[in-house]
A and B are shown apart, each in its own frame.
Chain A
Amino acid sequence: MGIIIQARNISKTYPKKKERVRALQEVSFQVKKGELVGLLGPNGAGKTTMVKIIAGLVAPDQGEVEIAGYNTWKERGRTLRKLSAVLEGNRNIYWPLTVKENLNFFASLKGQPPRKVQQRIDYLISKLNLEKKVNVTARSLSRGMQQKLALAVALVVDVPVLILDEPTLGLDVESALEIREMLQDVVYQENKTVLLTTHDMRLVRAICPRVIIINQGQIVTDDRVENLLRLFEAKSYRLKLTGHLTSKQEEMISLVENAIIHNDRHNGVYIDLHLESMDSLYIILDILRENNSPIESIERQEIDLEQVFLEIVGRRRKNGQPDSFASTG
């Protein structure tokens, strides 16, 4: 598969009063044709700036983005024939126009006569369950319907790249599921490339094979989701004890990095440990040995993407530097 999105050394700062706030710092990544990539990060990490730079709506201070070989800043017209985007959720549509009128209008806005994309419009309306709302103005639709219409508008013409900023934000479960299915179809049946930003880890887990995590304007991780889960699973343990800890032991364990003591009335005492190195485990075993506290079991912990995300972002915040395991995927 060839590279379709290429971001090279993107840096961006915004003026704020007399200072400049850094939004992105030397961000580089590639997305291959037909990939579905999640761009994750906490609020203010630089995700929206990144997608707007890709869409040619924000100029980078440094670096460049190419879509299908065209520079988004220098060859805007050509780039915009290769990509669609939903950047403002349910606000990317004309509210006084109906569902059908919106789809017709935005097809024309991309240079396609509505009659030429009629089949596509019918397909999108049916796929996103908008049949009963075809002649209803966007203003009168529910938020979920509006968001689905915004997605349909982005998909109405055949472009190879789709950029989505928070596509399921504020949606009910059913609408989020429909959008999720639609995105999977777009990638796996239509062979389009999708880059989406989201905070919805269930969405990422369900459809994104690869994630790029941005924090404080830098890429801290770029890897396949399964690799990240495996990596963190191998590092996360739960030590279950049969007795109780002394207050001195509790105090000493609480000083060990990434160790959390749980005192559960039903399950007894257990310690969750995320290992940076094996040293932490040996320190805790030494502390437990002092009072001969019996260990019932040591289990490798199940870990979900949300925990992985929090670990990565949290660690980046502590260190102020990218993680050592950051890699290009």
Chain B
Amino acid sequence: MGSLILLQAQVKKEFILLRRYFFNFLGGFATLYVVFLLLFLGYRGLAAGTDMYGTGLGNLIVGYMLWIFAMTIYQDISYHLFNEAREGILEQLYMSPFGYIRVTAFRLIAGLVLNFGMAFLILMAMMLSTGRYLNLDLISLVPLIILLLVPIAGLGFILGGLQILYKRIQSILQIVQFLLVGVVVAPINLGWTVFLPGTMASHLVRQVMVEEAFITALPWTQFLMALVMAVFYLLLGLAIFKLCERRAMISGRLGQF
């Protein structure tokens, strides 16, 4: 019951902020769309007329959409934490009987609705602009996208924890944000890349959207690997976050920025 109250409050807050800062949302949308157009024009210049053009374009669209997903969930943890500490609200959130991790997790879930909305709009815009229409089988896509986002959330918790402890790590946060591009577009045939957070799930999403495979047609070993990586990175992220949080409380640096 208490958790539901917290979730409702987080959803309401996210919608209030969206309404209040709608032009920010539009600005973000426009920026991401323009960046995609530039990527698309570059790709068309290089690959137009080749056999792989259609598949490559599909992969570009899916990769870009997944990067937006991954980036927003990652930013929702790491940058929010920085802002909350800077604005002085972090200690209040820590004083919730639900605990900071649950408060953050529910904010992520609340934000996910908006992230899905943003990603869907950009996906539509990308498909309309390029004329490349992809398979939007939600039954297959939703669980796979969750398997992509969960390990990225784990990565966010790792960086969030380090931020609580070491404070000024914004440059690292920015670098990791761009490394996420590699994580979502990396091919799995290199072997080691399957151990990256979300790479296997991202590959499966491409199978559904570009190759038009249904979820039951995907290799179960790959699905299992995506699941294992999701659980592993989430648990690793939470463990590192708790460790950093504890050390920050011991050194008295929790709310300082």
**Residues of chain A whose beta carbon lies under 8 Å from any beta carbon of chain B:** 12, 14-15, 23, 49, 52, 55-59, 76-78, 80-81, 83-85, 87-88, 91-97, 101, 104-106, 108-114, 137, 153
Contacts and interface: CB of A to CB of B under 8 A. Distances in A.
A94 B5 contact: no
A275 B6 CA distance: 59
B252 A49 contact: yes
A109 B249 contact: no
Contacts of B96: 80, 109-110
5 contacts: A15-B251, A57-B254, A58-B252, A85-B95, A108-B8
Given A14-B252, A59-B250, A91 B5 contact: no
A57 B90 CA distance: 10
A15 B253 CA distance: 11
The main secondary structure of chain B at its interface with chain A is helix
B44 interface: no
Nearest to B2: A111
Given A91-B87, A101-B16, A111 B97 contact: yes
B65 to A, nearest CB: 28
B60 interface: no
A58 B6 contact: no
Interface residues of B, number: 31
A192 to B, nearest CB: 16
B17 interface: yes
B146 interface: no
B134 to A, nearest CB: 36
Nearest to A153: B92
Given A84-B95, A109-B93, A109-B96, A96 B5 contact: no
A52 B13 contact: no
Contacts of B254: 57-58
Contacts of A114: 9
B165 to A, nearest CB: 12
Contacts of B252: 12, 14, 23, 49, 52, 58
A109 B255 contact: no
B21 A96 contact: yes
B158 to A, nearest CB: 22
B89 interface: yes
A91 B91 CA distance: 10
B103 interface: yes
A106 B93 CA distance: 9
Interface in B215-250: 246, 249-250
